[in-house]
């Protein structure tokens, strides 16, 4: 079926970072060579990747500014401006491609990379992946040496921050060395002829001024805009007739568990996790724009097939597991009891997020079928955050953007913002360290996560890449770069 989006509000504003429609196939062949693409642009915002505020401008910056490394559809690192990235112990050595220049013809050096690294460490959208950096130096113009707080074989996945020419970082349109350059009038981009790779069919990017997501949606429908992207932070309305692709995101929706307050051990958390019908939640609450998971690792980046497929969702099996935990007694209304009192668990949610309210209702209903009472408490986002920070919750329904470098520490262990009451499992801490040092395989670590379940992941959300009826291309898009393969369009 075809699809259009109409955005009516900011329903998903709480990141601390219905029927599923079938996704149309994009033609592998182009009836005629496409040389121009028209993209939405917010003229009041900057085109500086570190300061822009709008989603559409942030997407455009990936055409103007390249990173050292980009992540492919499986979240594996692929070199861009870096020729080679080597990690040994706590040292990461980056060798730059030789002969690179910025779009103004000036040489590209490690001093520019060093300045952008320091800027990225201070910018929230990039800093989460760089918390392990304790220092960096540029011993020569073609080399950057980064010192880490501990060994991390996954650190190359953190080198996705855009590189700007040193001295232009504060400008609204800094100098870059990306695939395209902004023309003088600033309403059009053209191919960067000095780029290290050969350009494809697309030679020109026309910037179409838009103010809202709704304007973009109707621009695509009417054919004045060829492509638009949304991370679906707002409510959507399906049905008006354009093509689309789903884009995996690193935004994990999960249940934070106050194990210290509830007294839950790993067995109890695993039983409760098995009660979650994640596929139903993805289908009904997110209309299929999500990937169900029982692991805090994006399914696209997971090394195993563990998780949702292995969970036994049969009512008989779940009842047996709950009985085995000592909750086999029930009151006159059929609710399970503990120590002679009805066994109920509080679930804290953000009242300003419609999707979370839908998820909470689905969880409440599925648990009720098993005799477990879920008491939902909905609070405005600011109060919601305060309660979590204070540890005043049993469970809470949250969303967090997970770093691409497999640093899961914020959701696996007690965190002042994401849950001070989380289980503090020293065996899991050691395993997390060993994962990053290379002493433990990702497969073995995922198997341990499935048994420990310190947090209860539900799904990873997906964004959407929409295109007009008249636009045809073999599009490969990623969260970091929706124009990932623009040279092949």
Per-residue pLDDT tens for 165-206?
999 999 999 999 999 999 977 789 999 999 999 889 999 999
* Lowest-confidence pick of 13-27, 86-100, 375-389: 13-27
- Res. 17: pLDDT tops 50: no
pTM: 0.90
* Alpha-carbon dihedral sign for residues 22, 25, 31, 37: positive
What is the rounded CA–CA span in Å between residue 248 and residue 73? Answer: 8
pLDDT band, residue 311 (cuts 50/70/90) = low
Neighbours of 280 (CB within 10 A): 15
Tokens of 438: 């290379």
What is the rounded CA–CA span in Å between residue 199 and residue 102? Answer: 16
pLDDT band, residue 375 (cuts 50/70/90) = very high
């Amino acid at each position: 079926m075809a699809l259009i989006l109409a955005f009516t509000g900011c329903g998903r504003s709480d990141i601390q970072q219905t029927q599923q429609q079938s996704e149309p196939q994009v033609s592998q062949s182009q009836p005629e060579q496409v040389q121009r693409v028209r993209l939405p642009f917010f003229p009041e915002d900057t085109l500086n990747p570190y300061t822009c505020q709008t989603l559409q401008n942030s997407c455009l910056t990936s055409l103007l500014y390249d990173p050292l490394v980009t992540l492919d559809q499986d979240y594996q690192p692929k070199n861009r401006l870096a020729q080679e990235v080597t990690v040994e112990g706590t040292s990461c050595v980056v060798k730059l491609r030789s002969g690179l220049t910025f779009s103004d013809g000036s040489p590209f050096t490690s001093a520019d990379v060093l300045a952008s690294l320091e800027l990225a460490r201070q910018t929230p959208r990039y800093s989460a992946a760089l918390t392990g950096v304790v220092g960096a130096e540029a011993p020569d113009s073609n080399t950057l040496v980064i010192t880490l707080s501990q060994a991390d074989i996954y650190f190359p996945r953190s080198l996705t921050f855009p590189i700007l020419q040193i001295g232009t970082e504060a400008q609204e349109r800094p100098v870059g060395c990306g695939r395209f350059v902004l023309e003088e009038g600033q309403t059009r981009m053209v191919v960067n002829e000095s780029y290290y790779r050969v350009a494809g069919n697309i030679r020109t990017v026309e910037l179409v001024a838009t103010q809202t997501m709704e304007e973009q949606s109707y621009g695509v429908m009417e054919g004045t805009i060829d492509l638009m992207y949304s991370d679906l932070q707002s409510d959507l309305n399906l049905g008006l007739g354009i093509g689309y692709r789903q884009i995996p995101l690193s935004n994990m929706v999960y249940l934070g568990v106050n194990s210290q307050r509830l007294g839950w051990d790993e067995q109890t958390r695993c039983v409760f996790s098995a009660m979650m019908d994640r596929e139903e939640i993805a289908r009904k609450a997110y209309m299929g724009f999500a990937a169900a998971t029982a692991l805090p690792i994006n399914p696209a980046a997971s090394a195993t097939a563990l998780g949702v497929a292995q969970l036994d969702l049969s009512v008989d099996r779940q009842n047996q597991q709950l009985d085995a935990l000592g909750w086999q007694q029930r009151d006159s209304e059929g609710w399970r009891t503990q120590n002679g009192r009805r066994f109920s668990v509080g679930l804290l949610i953000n009242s300003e997020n419609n999707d979370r309210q839908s998820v909470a209702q689905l969880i409440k209903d599925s648990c009720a079928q098993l005799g477990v009472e879920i008491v939902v408490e909905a609070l405005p986002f600011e109060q919601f955050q305060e309660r979590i920070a204070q540890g005043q919750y049993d469970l809470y329904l949250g969303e967090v953007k997970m770093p691409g470098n497999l640093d899961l520490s914020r959701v696996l262990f007690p965190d002042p913002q994401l849950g001070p009451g989380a289980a503090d499992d020293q065996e899991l801490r050691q395993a997390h360290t060993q994962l990053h040092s290379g002493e433990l395989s990702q497969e073995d670590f995922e198997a341990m996560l499935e048994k420990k379940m310190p947090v209860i992941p539900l799904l990873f959300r997906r964004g959407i890449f929409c295109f007009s009826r008249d636009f045809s291309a073999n599009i490969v898009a990623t969260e970091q770069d929706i124009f990932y393969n623009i040279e092949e369009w």
